[in-house]
Amino acid sequence: MFKRACVSSLSLFLFLAYFCLHAKGWSGNGDWGAGPLFPKDKRETIVSTEYGEISAAQVSDGTRRGSYHLQFFTLEPNSLFLPVLLHTDMVFYVHTGSGKLNWANEEKEKTTLTALRRGDVYRLKPGTVFYLQSNLESEREKLRIYAIFVNLEDGDLNEVSSIGAYSSISDLVRGFDKKVLQAAFEVSEELIEAITNATKPPAIVHNVPARSENLWGWEARFLKAFIGSQGHSIYDLENKKKAAKTFNIRDADPDFENCNGRALTVTTKDMKVLKGSNIGIFMVNLTKGSMMGPHWNPLATEIAVVLEGQGIVRVVCSSNTTKSSSSNTTKSSSSNSTKFKCENRSFRVREGDVFVVPRFHPMAQMSFNNGSLVFMGFSTASKLNHPQFLAGESSVLRTLDRDVLAAAFNVSNTTMDQFLTPQRESIILDCTSCAEEEARMMEEEIEKKRQEEEARKEEEERKRKEEEAKEEEEEKKREEEEARKREEEEKKREEEEAEARKREEEEAKEEDRRREAAAEREQEEAMREEDERQKREREEEKYEKEKKREEEEGKARKREEEETKREEDRRREAAAEREQEEAMRGEEERQKREGEEVKYEIGGGGEGKRAEY
């Protein structure tokens, strides 16, 4: 490692402590990867076989669109990661081991073979078909690759996790109907049956022999179908493979180096294949007791992976992001800021951990006195990014007017000069025991929070007990009040029952009186009814007698009338008979006279006149 320059770290640490005074957590919405630190043990395993594994981390920088998908490939020696079709941009770093990357896309007529070794970085474009092979080395070192996947076409980095970073070639082929495959590949039905009915292998398998015509022949046919290769067998492909060079970040000259460490960035200037990817690569190596000075990135978010050692990372939020929402923001933006709240935070990082620092967020990375800290990462800018440092010879504060700067900190110019002048180093600074002090402060903060939590729990327990005692007292009062009420109610109930009994007795007496009165009334009514009945009977009898008498009188009158009528009829009949007899006698007399007159006339007149007399 590097020798150490003997410079004082007191003023620098005081600056760091002053700049990062309030140590708080960076809280998120509770989802995995929501904060700046993503521990190694939180990775999600997506492939695991005896020949290797792949784990993933979905990390966020706290912004609405700042989500990044990383995968960690581990291949045992002499293993094979089977061919896949890449959906997104893939930028990767080889952490350990060696192997081969075979790839092709629509831009390449030939399959490209890229030898991989520790420190190599490379980029593959969307639509690339690739597979990985690990070498069988004497050291039997595993091939470890750290990769980031970004969707540049949509500009939405979250899209990667929803559609997947890549698809298995065999899955894509088997997704078609057998007839379609037979026509597309111009092979027999038996061969298609053999392909489609074969057991699906895991994503990572033991490496196949170099002359296995079965696998490599089909690989050639797949590549031809997907990317238009003219090869028909592995021999053709091997003859047409073109070697591609990677960029080895460990062999490259650093952009900055001193006794405290070294730093290197990889941009499109160093690696042409990064052009158009918007992804850059960096590596930082801090020696014991050193610090990457407080700085921020104006163009890029950093997504870093710890390669070696342990350290402390300090991230400071901007002035506005510590608020959950602003009164003059829209409802939508307010809800987004409420979902993710950024707060100043220090956290310990270990080998394999991922940490994210958004652009414009000041940060400082520190190594412990007993070991170095090495980390590499990906930045969201492939062009040269110029970090703005706060301390040291390259401090952005030294470019500002001292009077204005003193007014900003509300101190005198002399104090500001004393604050900025002592540090003669730049970028990577000596900071002996800074990480330990930060760790101590973190532990104190943790202990403080633990004590506050215990105090809070004790206070809650005390309040709970007071509340329970209060509730017990209130319960006792309620019970006494209820007992008193019950006694009063019992007494009242007894009084009411006594009154009820008294009322019942009085009602019973009254009922007896009513019954007696009713009986008397019934008796009187019966007597009255009997009297009335007898009276009615007498009246009816009288009425019947009267009626009978009247009927008899009527009958008598009727008989008398009838008798009178009959008598009158007899008299009329007698009178009529008499009149008839008189008439007859008169007629006889007339006839007799007329006879006598006739005789007289005939016999003489004298006798006739005598007869008339």
480 assigned to some structural domain: yes
**Of 111, 207, 218, 216, which is closest to residue 174 (Cα–Cα)?**
218
Average pLDDT across the chain, whole number? 80
Q: Which of residues 486, 513, 540 is at a domain's end?
A: 513
Structure tokens at 201: 């292998």
Are residues 393 and 260 both part of a single domain?
A: yes
Confidence of residue 273 (pLDDT cuts 50, 70, 90): confident
Helix axes 189-196, 178-185, angle to 10 degrees: 120
pLDDT on residue 367: 97
Rounded distance between C-alpha atoms, residue 93 and residue 112, angstroms: 18
What confidence tier does 18 reach under pLDDT thresholds 50, 70, 90? very low
Our count of domains for the chain comes to 3
The answer to whether residue 74 is domain-embedded is yes
Give residue 25's identity as a one-letter amino acid code. Answer: G
44 and 85 inside one domain: yes
Q: Is the same domain home to 420 and 479?
A: no
Indicate whether 69 pLDDT > 70: yes
Mean pLDDT of 570-584: 82
Query: Residue 540 contacts by C-beta under 8 Å, 6 or more apart in sequence?
Result: none
Q: Is the dihedral of CA 36, 40, 42, 43 positive or negative?
A: positive
Report the amino acid identity of residue 16.
L
The mean pLDDT value for 51-78 works out to 88
- What are the distances in angstroms from CA 200 to CA 168, 177, 179, 190? 11, 17, 20, 18
In a domain, 586, yes or no: no
End-to-end CA distance of the chain: 213
With a cut of 70, say whether residue 364 has pLDDT above it.
yes
Indicate the helix (H) or strand (E) that contains 491: helix 434-603
Beta-bridge partners for 378: 281, 303
pLDDT exceeds 80 at position 524: yes
Is the pLDDT at 552 greater than 80? The verdict is yes
Biggest distance spanned by C-alpha atoms of the chain:
224
Give 6: exposed, middle or buried? Use CB within 10 Å, 0-12, 13-18, 19+.
exposed
Q: Picking from 155-169, 171-185, 437-451, which range would have the lowest pLDDT averaged per residue? A: 155-169
What's the mean pLDDT in 327-335? 40
- Mean pLDDT of the region 95-120: 86
Q: 363 Cβ partners below 8 Å, 6+ apart?
A: 292, 294, 295, 296, 302, 313, 314, 315, 316, 357
Output 418 or 249, whichever has higher pLDDT: 249
Note whether residue 207 is domain-resident: yes
Q: How many CB atoms lie within 10 A of CB 270?
A: 16
pLDDT, position 354: 96
Nearest-5° Cα angle at 18, 13 to 20: 95
Separation in Å, CA 2 to CA 5, 253, 254, 584: 9, 15, 13, 196
Q: Which pLDDT score is estimated for 35?
A: 64
Most confident of 76-90, 97-111, 307-321, 529-543: 76-90
- Same-domain status, 463 and 418: no
418 and 503 both lie in a single domain: no
- In the three-class reduction of DSSP (H, G, I as helix; E, B as strand; rest coil), residue 117 is classed as coil
Domain boundary (432, 463, 489) is at 432
Decide if 318 contacts 302 (C-beta within 8 A): no
Cα pseudo-dihedral 460, 466, 472, 477, rounded to 10: -140
* 263 lies in the same domain as 189: no
| pLDDT at site 7 | 38
Instruction: For 422-439, write each residue's pLDDT tens digit.
Output: 777 778 999 999 999 999
Q: Which residue has the higher pLDDT, 290 or 29?
A: 290
Residue 366 in any domain: the answer is yes
- Burial of 602: CB neighbours in 10 Å, binned 0-12, 13-18, 19+: exposed
pLDDT-derived band of residue 243, with 50, 70 and 90 as boundaries? Answer: low
Residue 605 in domain? no
In a domain, 590, yes or no: no
Q: Please check whether residues 489 and 395 belong to one and the same domain.
A: no
273 and 187 within one domain: no
For residue 120, what are the contacts with CB-CB under 8 A and spacing of at least 6?
93, 94, 246, 247, 248, 249
> Could you give the dihedral angle defined by the CA atoms of residues 430, 436, 438 and 439, in that order, rounded to the nearest 10 degrees?
150
Bridge partners of residue 144, in order along the sequence:
74, 96
Q: Report the percentage of the chain scoring pLDDT > 70.
A: 79
pLDDT (mean) for 47-65: 87
Residues 345 and 401 in one domain: yes
Find the CATH number of the domain harbouring 277. 2.60.120.10
**Quick check: is 326 in a domain?**
no
Q: What span, in angstroms and rounded, lies between the C-alpha atoms of 116 and 303?
A: 22
Query: What's the pLDDT score for residue 3?
Result: 34
CA 328, 331, 333, 338 torsion-angle sign: positive
The Cα 89–Cα 111 span in angstroms is 18
**Which residues, other chains included, contact 439 with Cβ-Cβ below 8 Å and sequence gap of 6+?**
312, 348, 368
Q: Is the dihedral of CA 505, 509, 512, 517 positive or negative?
A: negative
* Exposure b/e, 126-161, CB count within 10 A at least 16 = b: bebbbebbbbeeeeeebbbbbbbbbbeeeeebbbbe
Pinpoint the alpha helices (H) of 136-260: 159-163, 169-174, 178-185, 189-196, 213-227, 234-240
**Lowest-pLDDT choice from 51-60, 100-109, 181-190, 191-200:** 100-109
Same domain, 127 and 205: yes
Q: Which two tokens stand for residue 53?
A: 């594994």
pLDDT band at 252 (very low <50, low <70, confident <90, very high): very high
Instruction: With a cut of 60, say whether residue 9 has pLDDT above it.
Output: no
- Nearest 5°: the CA angle 214, 215, 216 is 100
560 vs 545, 557, 563, CA distance in Å?
21, 5, 5
Asked if residue 33 has pLDDT above 50, the reply is no
Range of the domain at 268: 256-321+341-432
In this prediction, residues 32-58 reach a mean pLDDT of 87
Q: How confident is the model at residue 1 (pLDDT cuts 50, 70, 90)?
A: very low
Shared domain check, 414 and 301: yes
Same domain, yes or no, for 281 and 207?
A: no
Of 489, 513, 537, which residue constitutes the final position of a domain? Answer: 513
**Residue 390 C-alpha from the chain's centroid:** 43
* Amino acid symbol at 187: V
How many helices (H) and strands (E) the chain has is answered by: 12, 27
